Amino acid sequence: MPDSSPLKLICLSDEKQSVSLCVIGGIRFSGTNQYDALHAEILVSTGFISGDLDSWAEALESLAAGWKATWLEIGRSPRIMIDPTEDNESGCTDVSVYDVTGSQVFVTVPIVNQPDWGVHRQMLAAVRSRFQLER
């Protein structure tokens, strides 16, 4: 039986942050025994979040009301922008990450399914419960 555990393809890091790409599996759509594409996850690890969970809670309230929200708009941290409106260019919930001061990289991922913001509130509560941050 073949090993199905994820394989790291990229792992770049220093003492404070890292970027890695793990191949999760192969995708076949051409009808052959060969893979046509790879399914992968990119993980960016950095300490930029710090104690800003209160503003994420506020962003969740805006998103639940159907409005756009930006998280981490202050300082030199990357910004996460979420547009749940159906009148945006993709017609999906657009999730964008913008590295404002560093690389200036901007990426947008359209999510077809509408997120359940109540589930995200539960995830926030679980993080707050486990990691009690100084305010």
- Predicted confidence (pLDDT) per residue in 51-81, tens digit: 578 889 999 999 999 999 998 877 677 788 9
Dist CA 113 CA 80 (whole Å): 18
Judge contact between 80 and 97, C-beta under 8 A.
Answer: yes
Q: What are 15-50's pLDDT values in tens digits?
A: 777 778 899 988 888 888 888 888 888 887 766 555
β-strands 69-71, 37-45: how paired?
unpaired
- Token pair recorded at residue 49: 């979040």
3-state SS class at 27? strand
